[in-house]
Amino acid sequence: MMEKWREAVEHARGGESKYKILVQAISSDIEQHKLADDQRLPPQRQVADALGISVQTVTNAYKELERQGLVRCEVGRGSFVSRRMSDRVASYILDAPERALVDLSTARIIHTPEHDRYWRETCAELANEVDQSWIRLCRPVAGFDAHRDAACHWLGRLGLPGLAREDVLITNGAAHGLFLALASLAGPDDLVLCEGMTDHGVIGNSQVLGFNLKGLDTDRDGIDPEHFEDICSNERVTALVCTPNLNNPTSALMPNSRRKEIASIARRFGVHIIEDDVYGPLLNQYEGPPISSYAPELSFYCTSMTKSVLTGLRIGFLKVPKRLALRTESILRVTSWMAAPMLAEVAARWIMDGRADTLIQLQRRLLETRQKLVADEMGRYLYCHRPHSLNAWLNVPAHWDVSSLVRTLRQQHIAVTSPEPFTVRGVTPARGIRLCIGAETSESELSQALKTMRMTFEQYPGVHDF
């Protein structure tokens, strides 16, 4: 292994940085799976001696690999391969359906014939219209006025009334919105806080943008304000990313009193808030208005249609602090120019004519039914039960290893997600699994899968687990 690294360094051309060449050689071995996940890299002095370079050069290479998310360095233990979350997530969450498998690994809404009917009707409407300026124009980058007005109407109903269109950007889904917010604030060496278990996209963004991500203690009510305040008191924090409504994966739901407390702490220490409310529209009654409503000058607020109205309607709405509006819009311009206008047109129409509301009400009823099936079969293992959540977080019995349980369920044609893709570095992985109830399966098939899961939970694992 090190022979290849030595040859790469020896053949460096004049002016080439040896540490960058070493970074390229090691990253190539990681990406080609010549170095396995969690494999320990050779000690830095050993590499330096073998390659005939300084220890500082190796140290710089290892630090850059860590910044890129390819290596994790643990004090007293060494450096270990840690492939980027964006590369690893497909091994936890299925990227394509498999036959004869009940896929409970992907967070999505329950698709129905009504969704198909609304989409076909809308496509027919658009096909018969002569004036379709939104399909031939490529400005304004922030979104067409009518689309931003509809977004303001939508956000007003979610607890942010009185927004002007200048406060909102149209994005290609919530993930795009979160990236824009993080890119507007955080870069290498900045500290960003989030729930100890958070959406894997946030973890991936930390590796792409290079900021330091630290997880906060949480419970069924979300982030622990005392832990948030303690870190803010002792470290310079740039931003807090949080999901107060139905956190993914735990479905934690933050009460209004805690939202006010979090906002107050953020204001006191000048910490920006990036609030992901993609699941908020599914709630019948909110625990309280968004955290962003208590500190609007510091807050980005992001939501979308994907997790509540229609999976393929990948349009998001990002409320931006006024003093960062130009900066965030410029990042939108260079990352995608503008959101897909056709999807934004469909989203705006459905918001204003009530079709979005109709589909959300339908989704709530379906989720209630499926969550009841989960509670009936898996109630003793539920971490917390939310009738309108797309997920359920199940505590794993003490006699099971989490990874072994996930593998055993997969052998029984049931796919669930372990804690790894959601766990922030430095946080002890929870003993639980995420179960997503929007699977494209019938209620009877889901019920049978849940019965199989319960029986598996109650059994003891095999002596040899491979």
For residue 322, pLDDT beyond 50: yes
Is residue 270 domain-shared with residue 386, that is, in the same domain? no
We report the CATH number of the domain holding residue 21 as 1.10.10.10
What pLDDT is stored for residue 285 in this prediction? 65
Is residue 137 domain-shared with residue 42, that is, in the same domain? no
- Sign of the four-CA dihedral 200, 202, 206, 212: negative
Is residue 342 domain-shared with residue 258, that is, in the same domain? yes
- Contact present, 101 and 414 (Cβ < 8 Å): yes
For residue 191, pLDDT beyond 80: yes
Mean predicted confidence (pLDDT) in 116-121: 96
CA–CA gap between residue 163 and residue 53 (Å, rounded): 58
Which of these three, 67, 83, 99, is where a domain ends? Answer: 83
Is residue 93 domain-shared with residue 74, that is, in the same domain? no
- Contact present, 178 and 241 (Cβ < 8 Å): yes
> Buried b vs exposed e over 300-322: b needs ≥16 C-beta within 10 Å?
bbbbbbbbbbbbebbbbbbbbbe
For residue 9, pLDDT beyond 90: no
For residue 84, pLDDT beyond 80: no
Is residue 316 domain-shared with residue 401, that is, in the same domain? no
Q: Which helix (H) or strand (E) holds 263?
A: helix 256-269
Is residue 92 domain-shared with residue 150, that is, in the same domain? no
What pLDDT is stored for residue 466 in this prediction? 45
Is residue 290 domain-shared with residue 426, that is, in the same domain? no
Which of these three, 42, 64, 83, is where a domain ends? Answer: 83
For residue 15, pLDDT beyond 70: no
pLDDT bin (cut points 50, 70, 90) of residue 69 is: confident
Is residue 215 domain-shared with residue 309, that is, in the same domain? yes
For residue 46, pLDDT beyond 50: yes
Is residue 344 domain-shared with residue 365, that is, in the same domain? no
What pLDDT is stored for residue 454 in this prediction? 96
Mean predicted confidence (pLDDT) in 113-134: 91
Would you say residue 121 lies in a domain?
no
Domain hosting 417: range is: 86-113+357-458
Is residue 240 domain-shared with residue 342, that is, in the same domain? yes
Would you say residue 181 lies in a domain?
yes
- Contact present, 382 and 446 (Cβ < 8 Å): no
Give the predicted TM-score (pTM) of the model: 0.81
> Buried b vs exposed e over 264-279: b needs ≥16 C-beta within 10 Å?
ebbeebebbbbbbbbb
Which of these three, 291, 320, 354, is where a domain ends? Answer: 354
Total domains, the chain: 3
What pLDDT is stored for residue 227 in this prediction? 97
Is residue 256 domain-shared with residue 348, that is, in the same domain? yes
Residues 382-430 pLDDT 10s: 998 899 999 999 999 999 999 999 999 998 999 999 999 999 988 988 9
Is residue 375 domain-shared with residue 405, that is, in the same domain? yes
We report the CATH number of the domain holding residue 384 as 3.90.1150.10
Would you say residue 127 lies in a domain?
no
What pLDDT is stored for residue 94 in this prediction? 53
Please tell me what DSSP assigns to residue 171: E
CA distances from 347 to 35, 112, 126, 169 (A): 45, 18, 13, 14
